[in-house]
């Protein structure tokens, strides 16, 4: 087979129309063999003779899209020193733009040999490891453009490719569970009707199902087990080998509907696991470079992720891998942003978390990556790993404190009132001092990891028996409340309370300052039967049931109306923090004011009150202190929100005429209504009965 010298850059397999350039980094390799496989599985090995800067490379004329390949790396084998080259093992290209198949978990993948490996033979690991694929980079993007919604106008919808689409009756069966299903008009119409501006997809990088799950006849449903940082997961394609084209088609259709695509990415670890895990890719290519090893015991891995290994972000090659991957997904796949799983791990240059770590410096100066949405899951499982509020200015964060505080408030926990007020007004205590804005806070009540919204109000204990771990998996502290009965019930009072609580959470989320994130199916009352860790449940437990009853239809309508209400009123999505005072000399009223149910302004004693289950807040729509894209001052209506998390009705006194002469009821979670200004109330001592555990919103009526 003819081989030309080729180029050390770009890394990976790059097709140019006449052939393919192959390039692989390995500092420890003595030599590298490129392995090509035909349709029958016959392997042809080509030694890459050229080496520049530890990159082994060569160009093969006539090799094009669809070609299956892998690598065999010849080099030192000394696991006790962290050296694990073994040419018996076929390896996935870390830069592969497509991968085919899953490991069959042959025992040879797990061999932990302390001596020298045997010489390669015909009975080695080919066929046990997925193949890398050469891809065609051409795609007709037509007039595709990134929507680029500003953060303050963003509503995020966290979703799973399969979970969202597997049972939708209007999606053809052959498309369900695929990228093509996400692009189907029925799904797009649901998202646009819900007011969604960005869909945040659980991992779609190529991942593998762990062997211990396969042995239990389970699967890695969530996908947090990456083995290919450039490759769309092949099982989400409706046609084999078409995953790249179908993913691009999905992005194009979602963009046409004004919906951004954000990827949940896992750059903190890989599917190769701990020292007993399988050799699939980077471990056999250059273990010392790609992984964080224990310094005084390099046969073991530093594990800040709870998965067995951590990527070595102190080394330039893994950093290059991450940055090249991010740029590829933006420039070639047209995605709009990333949510970084366990992002604190990427800040661990040494032992402690360092927010000025090299990775974040690279992102800051990168002209491509710095311009898309960057969302951190701001924690990992290592010491000091909880870093909410500590990420650099470009970044937004999943606000776990918002989640916990809002859950505590609505389940009636005492002494959370001050914290609750801070969270719904933008969490300035976390973000203001670092120069960030309220939209640095990605607010959420539920996410893929934990209870759904319906389960949050229906279960106090996790019910994870189906996971096969005797209930040891999943969080124990769910901050949930079952409204008096654990699990399913026919009690009409309990069911009514649960429905009201769901509306309370959704209304609080969509009317808080910051960026709201809704978990897929929460708008439909989706339940997982109390399972708070469905990472291995690719079945009806985790999929949305689109067969809706009248209450679920009503919840969808309520959520859609709330999202539209938020979109219509900029006072609920401010770009600057409240000042607690008039923002201009001509203003008489502060931009925000807090009241007791008696209509009196909150004092320090009120904030410290152990009762802490009811409060009202005035939002001044004429004191937003912002200008629109035309330079005109942003103004809005003013609103009064009355929160009652108490188990009894509470009578609120509406603030006096200084704030408004007349108010109109526009949102009521007790009745489930979101309406145009309706029933009017005369201010100046007028009272309003707020139903137990409910929220009402009053709109100022201009005289």
Average pLDDT over residues 142-163: 97
Residue 591, C-beta contacts closer than 8 angstroms, at least 6 positions apart: 578, 579, 580, 581, 582, 583, 619, 620, 623, 624, 625
Residue 503, C-beta contacts closer than 8 angstroms, at least 6 positions apart: 555, 558, 669, 672, 695
Residue 424 parent element (H or E): helix 417-424
Q: Is the pLDDT assigned to residue 470 strictly greater than 60?
A: yes
Three-point CA angle 93, 97, 100, nearest 5°: 75
Domain ranges for the chain: 1-274+287-304+313-398
| End-to-end CA gap in the chain | 85
Distances in Å between the Cα of 200 and the Cα atoms of 105, 160, 335, 514, 583 are: 31, 8, 10, 16, 35
**Three-state DSSP class for residue 619:** strand
Distances in Å between the Cα of 334 and the Cα atoms of 68, 223, 374 are: 25, 21, 15
Please report, to the nearest 10 degrees, the dihedral formed by the alpha carbons of residues 243, 246, 250, 256 taken in order: 140
Distances in Å between the Cα of 519 and the Cα atoms of 17, 277, 321, 533, 669 are: 43, 33, 30, 14, 19
Which stretches of 291-352 are DSSP H helices?
316-331
Three-point CA angle 123, 129, 131, nearest 5°: 110
Ramachandran angles phi, psi of 104, nearest 5°: -95, 5
Please report the pLDDT score of residue 114 as a whole number.
38
User: Model confidence over 200-221: pLDDT tens digits?
Assistant: 999 999 999 999 999 999 999 9
User: Model confidence over 447-465: pLDDT tens digits?
Assistant: 999 999 999 999 999 999 9
pLDDT band at 350 (very low <50, low <70, confident <90, very high): low
Which tokens is 7 given?
């180029």
Residue 441 β-bridge partners: 397
Cα 9 to its chain centre, rounded Å, is: 31
Higher pLDDT, 343 or 247: 247
Could you tell me what percent of the chain has a pLDDT over 70?
96
Say how far apart CA 257 and CA 194 lie, in whole Å: 12
Cα–Cα nearest to 261, from 161, 172, 193: 161
- Beta strands 99-100 and 694-701: pairing type? unpaired
Q: Is the pLDDT assigned to residue 143 strictly greater than 90?
A: yes
Residue 52 parent element (H or E): strand 50-52
Question: Which listed residue (43, 286, 303, 377) is catalytic?
Answer: 377
User: Model confidence over 581-635: pLDDT tens digits?
Assistant: 887 766 779 999 999 999 999 998 899 877 789 999 999 999 988 888 888 889 9
Please report the pLDDT score of residue 572 as a whole number.
98
Mean pLDDT estimate for the chain: 93
Which tokens is 545 given?
């049931």
Which tokens is 232 given?
């769309």
Average pLDDT over residues 301-319: 91
Average pLDDT over residues 353-364: 78
Say how far apart CA 173 and CA 185 lie, in whole Å: 14
Say whether 626 is catalytic.
Answer: no
237 in Cβ contact with 177 (< 8 Å): no
Say how far apart CA 354 and CA 276 lie, in whole Å: 30
Burial degree of 290 (CB within 10 A; 0-12, 13-18, 19+) = buried
Q: How many CB atoms lie within 10 A of CB 686?
A: 16
Say how far apart CA 537 and CA 543 lie, in whole Å: 9
Average pLDDT over residues 521-535: 98
Ramachandran angles phi, psi of 238, nearest 5°: -75, -20
Question: Which listed residue (210, 341, 522, 591) is catalytic?
Answer: 341
Cα–Cα nearest to 29, from 230, 295, 273, 289: 289
Please report the pLDDT score of residue 111 as a whole number.
54
Which tokens is 149 given?
């919604």
User: Model confidence over 90-141: pLDDT tens digits?
Assistant: 999 999 999 999 998 887 777 554 334 444 444 466 678 999 999 999 999 9
Cα–Cα nearest to 421, from 409, 413, 439: 409
Say whether 473 is catalytic.
Answer: no
431 in Cβ contact with 416 (< 8 Å): no
Say how far apart CA 517 and CA 399 lie, in whole Å: 10
Please report the pLDDT score of residue 356 as a whole number.
55
Q: Which CATH number fits domain 1-274+287-304+313-398: 1.10.3720.10, 3.40.50.1380, 3.20.20.80, 3.30.230.10?
A: 3.20.20.80
Which tokens is 81 given?
């020193």
pLDDT band at 651 (very low <50, low <70, confident <90, very high): very high
Average pLDDT over residues 282-297: 96
- Beta strands 83-84 and 650-653: pairing type? unpaired
Residue 696 β-bridge partners: 642, 668
pTM summary value: 0.96
Helix pair angle (358-365, 316-331), 10° resolution:
30
User: Model confidence over 56-77: pLDDT tens digits?
Assistant: 999 999 999 999 999 999 999 9
**Three-state DSSP class for residue 206:** strand
Please report the pLDDT score of residue 353 as a whole number.
63
Say how far apart CA 602 and CA 617 lie, in whole Å: 10
């Amino acid at each position: 087979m003819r081989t030309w010298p080729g180029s050390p850059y770009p890394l990976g397999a790059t097709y140019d129309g006449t052939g393919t350039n192959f390039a692989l980094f390995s500092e420890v390799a003595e030599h590298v063999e490129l392995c090509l496989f035909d349709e029958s599985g016959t392997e042809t090995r080509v030694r890459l003779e050229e080496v520049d800067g530890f990159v082994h490379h060569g160009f093969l004329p006539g090799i094009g899209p669809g070609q299956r390949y892998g690598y065999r790396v010849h080099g030192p084998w000394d696991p006790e020193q962290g050296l694990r080259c073994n040419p018996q093992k076929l390896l996935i290209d870390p830069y592969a733009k497509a991968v085919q198949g899953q490991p069959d978990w042959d025992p040879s993948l797990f061999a932990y040999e302390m001596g020298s490996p045997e010489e390669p033979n015909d009975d080695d690991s080919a066929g046990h490891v997925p193949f890398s694929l050469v891809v065609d980079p051409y795609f007709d993007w037509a007039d595709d453009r990134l929507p680029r919604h500003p953060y303050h106008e963003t509503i995020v919808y966290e979703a799973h490719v399969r979970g969202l689409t597997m049972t939708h009756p209007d999606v053809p069966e052959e498309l369900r569970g695929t990228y093509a299903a996400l692009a189907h008009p029925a799904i797009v119409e649901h998202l646009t009707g819900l007011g969604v501006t960005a869909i945040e997809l659980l991992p779609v990088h190529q991942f593998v199902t762990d062997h211990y799950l396969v042995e239990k006849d389970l699967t890695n449903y969530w996908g947090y087990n990456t083995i290919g940082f450039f490759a769309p997961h092949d099982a989400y394609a409706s046609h084999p080998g078409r995953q790249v084209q179908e993913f691009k088609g999905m992005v194009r259709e979602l963009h046409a509907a004004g919906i951004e695509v954000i990827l949940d990415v896992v750059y903190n670890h890989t599917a190769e696991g701990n020292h007993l895990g399988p050799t699939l890719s980077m471990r056999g290519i250059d273990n010392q470079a790609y992984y964080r090893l224990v310094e005084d015991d390099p046969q073991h891995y530093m594990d800040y992720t709870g998965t067995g290994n951590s990527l070595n972000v102190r080394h330039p090659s893994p950093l290059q891998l991450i940055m090249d991957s991010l740029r590829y997904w933006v420039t070639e796949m047209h995605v709009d942003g990333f949510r970084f799983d366990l992002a604190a791990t990427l800040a661990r240059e040494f032992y402690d978390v360092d927010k000025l770590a090299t990775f974040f410096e690279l992102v800051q100066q990168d002209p491509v990556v710095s311009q898309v949405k960057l969302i951190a899951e701001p924690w990992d499982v290592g010491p000091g790993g909880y870093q909410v509020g500590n990420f650099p200015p470009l970044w937004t964060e999943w606000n776990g404190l918002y989640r916990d505080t809002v859950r505590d408030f609505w389940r009636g926990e005492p002494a959370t009132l001050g914290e609750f007020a801070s969270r719904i007004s933008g969490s300035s205590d976390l973000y203001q001092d670092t120069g960030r804005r309220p939209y640095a806070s990605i607010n959420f009540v539920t996410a893929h990891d934990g209870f759904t919204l319906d389960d949050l109000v229906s279960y106090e204990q996790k019910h994870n028996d189906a996971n096969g771990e005797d209930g040891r998996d999943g969080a124990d502290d769910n901050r949930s409340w079952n409204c008096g009965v654990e699990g399913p019930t026919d009690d009409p009072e309990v069911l009514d309370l649960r429905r009201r609580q769901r509306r309370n959470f959704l209304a609080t989320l969509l009317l808080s300052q910051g960026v709201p994130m809704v978990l897929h199916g929460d708008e439909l009352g989706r339940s997982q039967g109390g399972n708070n860790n469905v990472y291995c449940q690719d079945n009806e437990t985790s999929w949305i049931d689109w067969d809706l009853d009248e209450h679920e239809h009503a919840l969808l309508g309520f959520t859609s109306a709330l999202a539209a209400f938020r979109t219509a009123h900029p006072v609920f999505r401010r770009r600057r923090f409240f000042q607690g005072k008039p923002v201009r000399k001509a203003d008489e009223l502060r931009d925000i004011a807090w009241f007791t149910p008696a209509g009196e302004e909150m004092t320090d004693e009120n904030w410290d009150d152990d009762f802490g289950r009811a409060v009202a807040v005035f939002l001044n729509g004429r004191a937003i202190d912002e200008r629109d894209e035309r330079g005109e001052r942003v103004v809005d209506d003013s609103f009064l929100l009355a929160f009652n998390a108490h188990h009894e009705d509470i009578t609120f006194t509406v603030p006096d005429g200084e704030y408004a002469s007349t108010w109109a009821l526009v949102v009521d979670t007790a009745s489930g209504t979101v309406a145009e200004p309706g029933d009017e109330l005369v201010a100046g001592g007028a009272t309003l009965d707020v139903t137990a555990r409910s929220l009402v919103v009053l709109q100022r009526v201009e005289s």
